[in-house]
Amino acid sequence: MGNLEEYRKEIDSIDRELVSLFEKRMNVALKVGEYKKERNLPIFHSKREEEVIKKNISLLKNKEYTDITRGFFENIMELSRSLQGNLMDNCEGKNEELNIDENDVIGYQGVEGSFSEEALIKYFKSYSKLQNYEEFYDVFKALENNEVKYAILPIENSYTGAITAVYDLLVKYNFYIIGEECIKIDQHLMSVEGASLDTIKEVYSHPQGFEQSKGFLSKYPDLRLIPYHNTAISAKHIADLQDKTKAAIGSRRAADIYGLNIVKESINDKKDNHTKFIIIGKDLNYDDSFNKVSVVFSLDDKAGALYRLLSHFAENNINMIKIESRPNKHESWKYLLYVDFEGNLKEETVRNALELIEKNSGYFKIIGNYKNSF
């Protein structure tokens, strides 16, 4: 049996090999990203990733490592997707299918410098007629009142999960998802000139900013955390106050816009931190190039109800991407299921599955058919 020093040397040798192999894998991932970019293919392919994971798990001699091996390859693939996503950032706008003219307005929640505005600019590229609103509700009302033609809203963060208020408003206002965008989120602690971690007593941010930075904030238990409407609004508030005891959590762009200094950069716990945004409108769009469908339907409180409804996807060989459950606002202990899956509304298998689900649900609605952002 060897000693501890020998084991450490062996691990160091293996780590050097791993670094070399990891670099090679990321280089290949970039080549794959270039291929997908040239052919306008989605980054995320869940079935392919699952096949790769299962194949690698099958190579294990010690099956006790199955779970951690799965986690290892899931993380590797997430990093590969992130690398490919950065490559896609420079591609042309994705709004070719939208009918927009120079008088149309695009709405978003927050102020200049918010992540929502950043996602809007990335999706619509050169489009410049924007209108900001304070709350998610205000954005939906603006679309209802024809103040804006389209709007963009956050729907999910890769670390903290779904933005449930937006899911609820989608059903309430009967609008449609017509596109989606995904951006990398880096949270920074910012304040006025002369501020430091020693002077700061209060931190302002959207609750998501706090949630995404829990590890960093836990090191400073004396900081008073004050929830605010939006990370960019928090940055503007700190700039207006000009108080070295107060700080905000937000994007580097927000710091630049409002003249704040970065006190501590990249404080979010998960470095591969992304938020997905949806673009909504009043009409359901149809196009042969669309490859993702979103629906919502009610679920009865009966044994086997969920299985029976979801089985229609499997029976038609449809790959589900995400399921989100939300309480039904009109009936106690009843739920609405939001399901995203791969497909196009023109496909016969998709129509067959949705017809069966609609037939067996008290409430059913298609909420979008659009291009997957991954």
pLDDT in tens, 169-189: 998 998 999 999 999 999 999
Q: What is the DSSP letter of 226?
A: E
Give 234 or 229, the one with higher predicted confidence: 234
Structure tokens at 70: 């799965």
Q: Does the structure show a pLDDT above 80 at 319?
A: yes
Domains with residue ranges and CATH for the chain: 4-88 (1.20.59.10), 106-185+274-281 (3.40.190.10), 188-264 (3.40.190.10), 292-370 (3.30.70.260)
Decide: 277 and 183 in contact? Cβ < 8 Å. Answer: yes
Q: pLDDT per residue over 38-54, tens digit each? A: 655 556 666 677 888 88
Q: Please tell me the least confidently modeled range out of 16-20, 218-222, 233-237, 238-242.
A: 16-20
Q: Is 43 helix (H, G, I), strand (E, B) or coil?
A: coil
**pLDDT 10s digits, 9-30:** 888 899 899 988 988 988 898 8
Question: Quick one: angle between helices 46-58 and 66-88, nearest 10?
Answer: 140
Confidence at residue 289, expressed as pLDDT on a 0 to 100 scale: 87
What pLDDT does 42 receive?
Answer: 59
Query: Which one is catalytic: 115, 160, 275, 341?
Result: 275
The whole-number average pLDDT for the span 125-132 is 78
Share of the chain above pLDDT 70, in %: 90
Q: How far apart are CA 309 and CA 53, in angstroms?
A: 28
| Tens of pLDDT, residues 280-314 | 999 998 888 899 999 999 977 676 778 888 999 99
275 is catalytic: yes
Q: What's the gap between Cα 36 and its chain centre?
A: 20
> In Å, how far are 308, 310, 314, 356 from 360, measured between CA atoms?
9, 11, 16, 6
Q: Which amino acid is at 235?
A: A
DSSP three-state, residue 280:
strand
Q: What is the pLDDT of residues 69-105, one digit of tens each?
A: 888 888 788 788 777 766 655 444 455 557 777 788 9
- CA–CA separation, 266 vs 257, rounded Å? 18
- Among the listed residues 44, 136, 210, 277, the single catalytic one is 277
Please report the pLDDT score of residue 26 as a whole number.
86
Predicted local distance difference test score (pLDDT) of residue 341: 95
- 166 vs 82, residue with greater confidence: 166
Q: Where does residue 278 rank: exposed (0-12), middle (13-18), buried (19+ CB within 10 A)?
A: buried
Please state the rounded mean pLDDT for residues 242-265: 96
- In which element (H, E) is residue 139 found? helix 136-144
The whole-number pLDDT of residue 370 equals 94
Which carries the bigger pLDDT value, residue 89 or residue 350?
350
Torsion, Cα 84 86 88 93, to 10 degrees, reads 160
E-state strands within the chain: 106-109, 130-133, 150-157, 161-162, 176-184, 188-191, 202-205, 224-227, 246-250, 261-264, 274-281, 292-299, 320-327, 335-342, 364-370
Its sign, for the CA torsion 35, 39, 43, 44, is negative
Burial of 322 (0-12, 13-18, 19+ CB in 10 A): middle
CA distance 213 to 234: 15
Range from 64-68, 80-84, 237-241 that averages highest in pLDDT? 237-241
Q: What is the pLDDT of residues 181-211, one digit of tens each?
A: 999 999 999 999 999 999 999 999 999 899 9
Q: Is the pTM of this model over 0.85?
A: no
Interval 97-122 mean pLDDT: 86
